Amino acid sequence: MYRAVCQLKSISPVSFSRRFEDKPKEKIDWEYEQKTWQLRAHADRDGKVIIPSSMFKGALTSAAQISGENIPGKGKSTYTSRFKAGVIVENDIPLGIKLKELDYEDVFVDSQGGRGGPQVLKRFPVVKRWEGELICTVTLSKIIKESVFTEFLKLAGLIAGVGRFRAGVGGNKGRFRIEKIKFEKIE
């Protein structure tokens, strides 16, 4: 088992679309949207914006799945299930920005959350540049070697990404790169 301490830096902005307690669905008007858009960002108890650990876990798992790379000596088995079960993302990444300091972008989106329906204007939080430390514990170290973990984290930053309109769903946001990575063996 080992721990990977990863210094990450954005390649593209990250945007959020977290669900929050909304007013009744009768009609959400633009005035209400302008008052509540910041609630779409993820924040800690002090009201500072974070990128949740679950987003990085999803990006790593997506990268393993998209690559389709087989595990040497395991036939046609790929790394996907091993990353799901054997990698623990230990922390959220704090961005050091308060909710009230966030930037935003206005976008026409499907009113029902899908595609092809009527469009409504929504406001989404955006952080143009970010960086932080991500700590992952790899429990299946005999299968997920340090070089494999590094390869898939790089891939996660390039083709999967984190947040709303991330690279993995055809968007251009949420991409990142590894600035530095340090491995620590743990028992």
Instruction: Read off the CATH number of the domain in which 29 is found.
Output: 3.30.70
Which two three-digit tokens encode residue 93? 């990444």
Separation of alpha carbons 18 and 37, rounded Å: 10
Tell me how many domains the chain contains. 1
The stretch 29-52 carries a mean pLDDT of 92
Q: pTM of this prediction?
A: 0.92
Q: What average pLDDT score do residues 86-90 get?
A: 97
Taking only the tens place, the pLDDT of each residue in 158-180 is 999 999 999 988 899 999 999 99
What does the pLDDT look like over 142-161, one tens digit per residue? 999 999 999 999 999 999 99
What does the chain come to in residues?
187
What pLDDT score was predicted for residue 19? 83
Alpha carbon distances (Å) from 102 to 8, 43, 44, 93, 157: 20, 11, 14, 16, 22
Q: Residue type for 156, please? A: A
Phi and psi torsions of 51, nearest 5°: -105, 115
Which residue from 171, 179, 77 is spatially nearest to 130, judged by alpha carbons? 179
Do 154 and 64 meet the contact criterion of CB atoms below 8 Å apart?
no
Q: Which domain holds residue 178?
A: 2-185
Give the mean model confidence (pLDDT) for residues 70-92.
Answer: 94
